[in-house]
Amino acid sequence: MASVGDTGGKAAHDARHEAPGAGTGAGAGKAGAGSAAGAGAGADAAVRRDRAVRAAVEQGLISGAEPIVALLDVAGIRASAAALRAAFDRVTAPGTPVLHAFAVKAAPLVPVLRLLAAEGLGAEVASPGELALARAAGVRAERTVLDAPAKTVAELREALALGVAVNADNPQELARLDALTAAAPTVPPCGLRVNPQLGGGSIGALSTATATSKFGVALRDEGARAWTVRAFLDRPWLTRLHIHSGSQGVPLELMARGVREVYELAEEINAAAGRHQVDTLDIGGGLPVNFASDTQTPTYADYARLLSGTVPGLLDGRYGLVTEFGRSLLAKHGTVLARVEYAKTSGARPIAVTHAGVQVATRTVYDPVSWPLRITTYDPTGAPKSGPAVGQDIAGPACFAGDLLAENRPLPLLAQGDLVAALDTGAYCFATHYSYNSLARPGVHGFTAPARGPVRFATVRTAQSVEEIVAESGGAHPDALLEG
Ligand SMILES: *Cc1c(COP(=O)(O)O)cnc(C)c1O
């Protein structure tokens, strides 16, 4: 596998060899072999997680004074990155340039981006903040892709100057790029995002390929396809097509059909151009995640296999590939651990009032049907709790009635001082904090749990202090509204 944006793909190749931990010992290293490997990896992950919870209590990461903490399983993240690379290595022709750009929004944490870069991944960014995070993590410009739907002229100019690949969203953005590229000494790879309008999945807010989606050029709208072909013929520097049509709730078959549509459009453009103008297809991310058990399914290998059946021409070496997976790389490797501050009953319903709620699992709290989370329970020493299952509410600390991580969930009866863990929260949860009630961002710690030896933690993000909350909340301008 060569690497898009790398001369000869050397960095990606080296990264593979710099990562001795990748997949070793864990079935996850072979996750590409299918769901049996996925289940084995899941069992290993559950053992590591229980050890990390115990160690978090013993090492004082969670306590009465620090009643919530987030944990990241480093070996799990490495294994997912390795599984992604292996899956596409297996289906692409030798020498096919491939860049796996992690969707930063899923886990905008600098050490996570650095870890993934060490595993051979780049970064997909969609705001000046995300671009800054990728740069702070040392992700090189030529391994970074900018995809925001509302890029300003200044953001576009910066991306071009840095050498970051840009995917334009719409005709007006292309017009801005016309002006900027005319003035630029060199132009990084630029693409156009298209929407094949194939329909959505089961979660409306996350379905990007609907008839009226806000993303990209809607290919089935009248005249849009011909306009798109012309847009490429008029712009020799436009060399990529971009689609991101998957997400949680979207079937793999629908994702693969979207990729096929984009591949066919690339073939049409190249035939019209009489040359291989479109040289790279950015197929986005969106692999769904299993939130129901520790088994990882579907796997990257499942999707890569489906692509090789649905769009064989995509993988025969004529096109470079960019992927942009987020949730599937991180979700299963994050755990929120929180203390039960109080255990009470209301209307005969047992309620555990914890420190984990809407601030760390925003989507689950506002849309519990689409985003159910698994909850596991531990006693105050961090040992798994047992006992008959009793329907309980797992409540968060925020001051509104709906701040529940789980409603009437059958679990061992929780008592004050016990711990609850919200599983599969490594993407779009604690890393994308919601500051309702001025609740502090919890600390995030990566852990390694070697078969022999103690669990070791590394600080990824320190817990937010109340001083920082005041500073972020206008604390420097207390009299601002009294003046004038
Ligand atoms: C959110 C997003 C991704 C990542 O999606 P996941 O579902 O987390 O894999 C990739 N590309 C674009 C353009 C996105 O908006």
Tens digit of pLDDT for each residue in 86-132? 999 999 999 999 999 999 999 999 999 999 999 999 999 999 999 99
Looking at the predicted structure, is the pLDDT value of residue 234 above 50? yes
CATH number for the domain including 156?
Answer: 3.20.20.10
State mean pLDDT over 253-277.
Answer: 97
Distance 400 CA to ligand 1 centre (A): 30
Residues 159 and 235 in one domain: yes
Catalytic residues: 399
| CA-closest candidate to residue 88, choices 77, 99, 78 | 99
State mean pLDDT over 219-230.
Answer: 95
d(Cα 140, Cα 142) in Å, to the nearest integer? 5
Going by pLDDT thresholds of 50, 70 and 90, the confidence category of residue 10 is: very low
| CA-closest candidate to residue 425, choices 106, 122, 203 | 106
pLDDT recorded at residue 197:
86
| CA-closest candidate to residue 250, choices 282, 307, 204 | 204
pLDDT recorded at residue 4:
61
Q: Which of 28-37, 139-148, 324-333 bottoms out in mean pLDDT, i.e. has the lowest?
A: 28-37
The pTM assigned to this predicted structure is 0.92
d(Cα 264, Cα 258) in Å, to the nearest integer? 10
CATH number for the domain including 426?
Answer: 2.40.37.10
Domain total of the chain:
2
Distance 443 CA to ligand 1 centre (A): 25
Q: Which residue has the tokens 């298209």?
A: 194
pLDDT recorded at residue 3:
54
For ligand 1, atom 1, name the residue with the nearest CA. Answer: 103
Looking at the predicted structure, is the pLDDT value of residue 319 above 60? yes
DSSP secondary structure of 427-466: TTTGGG---GGGPPPPEEEEEE--SSS--EEEEEEPPPPH
Average pLDDT value over all residues in the chain? 91
State the greatest distance between any 2 C-alpha atoms of the chain, in Å, as a whole number.
73
Residue 292 lies in a domain: yes
Residues 148 and 287 in one domain: yes
Q: Is 73 in the pocket of ligand 1 (CB under 6 A)?
A: no
Q: Which of 111-115, 171-175, 244-248, 367-371 bottoms out in mean pLDDT, i.e. has the lowest?
A: 244-248
Looking at the predicted structure, is the pLDDT value of residue 229 above 50? yes
Domain end among 329, 354, 382: 329
Residue 254 lies in a domain: yes
For residue 427, count other CB atoms closer than 10 A to its CB: 25
Looking at the predicted structure, is the pLDDT value of residue 451 above 60? yes
Polymer length of the chain:
484
Residue 439 lies in a domain: yes
pLDDT recorded at residue 7:
39
Residues 289 and 421 in one domain: no
State mean pLDDT over 258-280.
Answer: 98
pLDDT recorded at residue 40:
75
Residue 204 lies in a domain: yes
Q: Is 334 in the pocket of ligand 1 (CB under 6 A)?
A: no
Domain end among 278, 302, 329: 329
Per-residue H/E/C for 240-255? EEECCCCCCCCCHHHH
Q: Where is 341: in which H helix or E strand?
A: strand 334-346
d(Cα 181, Cα 175) in Å, to the nearest integer? 10
Q: Is 244 in the pocket of ligand 1 (CB under 6 A)?
A: yes
Residue 34 lies in a domain: no
Domain extent for 205? 91-329
Residue 200 lies in a domain: yes
Q: Is 201 in the pocket of ligand 1 (CB under 6 A)?
A: no
Looking at the predicted structure, is the pLDDT value of residue 15 above 50? no
pLDDT recorded at residue 6:
47
Residue 18 lies in a domain: no
Question: Do residues 377 and 419 touch, judged by C-beta distance below 8 A?
Answer: yes
Domain end among 287, 304, 329: 329
pLDDT recorded at residue 199:
74
Q: Is 412 helix (H, G, I), strand (E, B) or coil?
A: strand
Residues 203 and 216 in one domain: yes
Distance 205 CA to ligand 1 centre (A): 13
Q: Which one has a higher pLDDT value, 26 or 157?
A: 157
State mean pLDDT over 406-424.
Answer: 98
Residue 79 lies in a domain: no
Residues 229 and 378 in one domain: no
State mean pLDDT over 12-20.
Answer: 34
Looking at the predicted structure, is the pLDDT value of residue 460 above 50? yes
Residues 236 and 134 in one domain: yes
| CA-closest candidate to residue 420, choices 370, 360, 353, 366 | 353
